[in-house]
Structure 1
Amino acid sequence: MCGRFAMTLPQDAMAQLFEATPANDLPQGANYNVCPTNAVAVATSEEGNRRVQPMRWGFLPHWYKAENGGPLLINARAETIAEKPAFKSAARARRCLIPATGFYEWTKDANGARDPWYIYRSDGAPLVFAGVWQDWERDGLSHRTCAIVTCSANAPMSKVHHRMPVVLEAADWPLWLGEAGHGAARLMVPAADETLRFHRVDRAVNSNRAAGPELIERLA
């Protein structure tokens, strides 16, 4: 799964990365502890025109009567995304790219305490997760919302967690965004074993109020 991540790319760098037009209201500044319900930068494509825009991380199906009207859907499982009522329409027509500098997962020590790990690309490039999005409106409130698609972990990642985000390479972005025809389902597989690295970080990140670049520093 993916329940917390870091995003440190400047807005202009994100626009260049995706060759997209940035919205004026993107999240400002680096965020080393992006949490569910935070606004995140998301790349979409409509008729071949790419845009980077803010979305609420936490997918809201149209039938939710309130923002807390059901489970918080931050992830969508690749194995069931095409059948689940919450996601199946978005999986066909509203796919997106969610950039990240890295993400966090947790293991437990012998006493049950949660030890955080920071996971990032081994080549130093930004991670780009497969995502889906949905507009939601109720009683005067409206949100554009998203979820990260997850799959079974590859061999290295399985030492930390049995699930991982679907990581897309740049050559696959047009297919995921619907710019290159059909067949996006074949992209929902684990990243190659050499794609990611990870290291232990301080338990400070266990708090959703923690902030700062020290959160991703390797634990000595």
Structure 2
Amino acid sequence: MCYDISFASDIESIHDILPAIQIQGELRFDPTFHKLGMSFPTWPIVVNTNNRLELHPFVWGPIPKMLNTPDKVKKQRQMFLNARSEKILEPKTMWTAIRHQRCLVPVTGFYEYREIPGQKNKQAYFIRVKGQKIFFIAGLWTLSNSWDIEKPEKITTFTIVTREANSVMKQIHNGGNNAGRMPMMLTNELAEMWVKPELNDDQIKDILSFSMPSIDLEYWPVNSVRKAHPDDESVIEHVDEIDLPPIILQ
């Protein structure tokens, strides 16, 4: 699944791809080389409101109605950081209920962990789309109860859509209960289509059938981002690959 993302750029870089986009509300976002989903960070999110592209500060991690106590929120909220693409059009799922609340999650890259035979610890990798300063991941948004005693109002939240991995990502995300998944990366053209409000279910299905080709990705091993680290370019520095099996581009 996708729990570690990066946006090491400025907000203006989104304008380079979506020139008509408008920033809504008070959006203060400092470039970051890594944010962990389980910290439920605020992120700049693209939505289409009345055929107008807007950028809003949304919080990563929906809080569905079933999480109706602070204790449940604490223990289970992380389960909703990602939405499986296969569930979005499946009747009676929470994701199909909000399938028309589509959004874009701009990133400069994301991180995933690879199991290496004979090694106790997994190897972290940084992954991004070749030749793009930023790219978009498909998302869904919804209003959630904050369960914050000091701020009990609803908050606007989002989840990242994931799908079956391509051949390279299957080799990187190769362990754990959710092995063989990757974020639903979109081309710029599909990104604009994803947030068109008039899409019907067949059109949504067509977009969800897209898989970013392995050849369009670049990736390299980095130090673990689950340990204390500075939020600077050192986070994505290459580490020694001598003891790592090669990743085969198929």
The question of 1:32 aligning with 2:44 is answered no
Supply the distance in 1 between the matched residues of 2:228 and 2:67 (Cα, whole angstroms): 25
**Residue 119 of structure 1, aligned match among 116, 127, 134:** 127
The amino acid across from 1:32 in the alignment is F
Once the two structures are overlaid, the 10-residue window that deviates more, 127-136 or 27-36, is 27-36
RMSD: 2.0
Q: CA deviation at 1:155?
A: 1.1
> 2:112 & 2:75 partners in 1: Cα distance?
27
Q: Give how far 1:186 is off.
A: 1.4
CA deviation after TM superposition for structure 1 residue 195, in Å: 1.6
- The structure whose Rg is larger is 2
User: Aligned with 2:103: secondary structure?
Assistant: strand
Higher helix share: 2
For 2:239 and 2:214, how far apart are their aligned partners in 1? Answer: 23
Which aligned pairs between 1:144-159 and structure 2 lie closer than 5 A? Answer: 144-159=156-171
* Pairing 1:207–2:227 present: yes
Aligned partner letter, 2:196: G
Q: In structure 1, how many angstroms separate the alpha carbons of the residues matched to 2:227 and 2:24?
A: 30
Does 2:210 correspond to 1:192?
A: no
1:132-147, aligned counterparts within 5 Å? 132-137=140-145, 140-147=152-159
- Residue 49 of structure 2 aligns with an amino acid whose one-letter code is E
Change beyond 3 A, Cα 1:142–1:15: farther
> What TM-score results when the alignment is normalised by the length of structure 2?
0.80
Contact between 2:114 and 2:122, CA under 8 Å: does it hold in 1? yes
Q: Relative to total residues, which structure has the larger strand share, 1 or 2? A: 1
Q: CA deviation at 1:187?
A: 1.3
Aligned to 1:219, the other structure's residue is in SS state coil
Number of residue pairs the alignment of both structures matches: 218
Structure 2 alignment gaps of length 5 or more: 174-179, 241-250
Question: For the residues of structure 2 that align with 1:113 and 1:138, how far apart are their CA atoms?
Answer: 35
Aligned position for 1:45 = 48
Deviates more, 1:40-49 or 1:25-34: 25-34
- The equivalences for 1:1-220 within 5 A come to 1-18=1-18, 19-36=20-37, 37-65=40-68, 66=70, 67-68=73-74, 70-72=76-78, 73-83=80-90, 85-91=93-99, 93-109=100-116, 110-137=118-145, 140-161=152-173, 162-179=180-197, 181-182=199-200, 183-188=203-208, 189-203=210-224, 205-207=225-227, 210-220=230-240
Q: Contact 1:57–1:74 (CA<8 Å) still a contact in 2? A: yes
Instruction: Give the drift of 1:209.
Output: 5.9
What is the identity percentage for the equivalent residue pairs of Structure 1 and Structure 2? 21
| C-alpha distance in 1 between matches for 2:195 and 2:7 | 21
Q: List structure 1 runs of 4+ shifted beyond 6 angstroms.
A: none
Equivalent position SS for 2:17: helix
TM-score (norm 1): 0.90
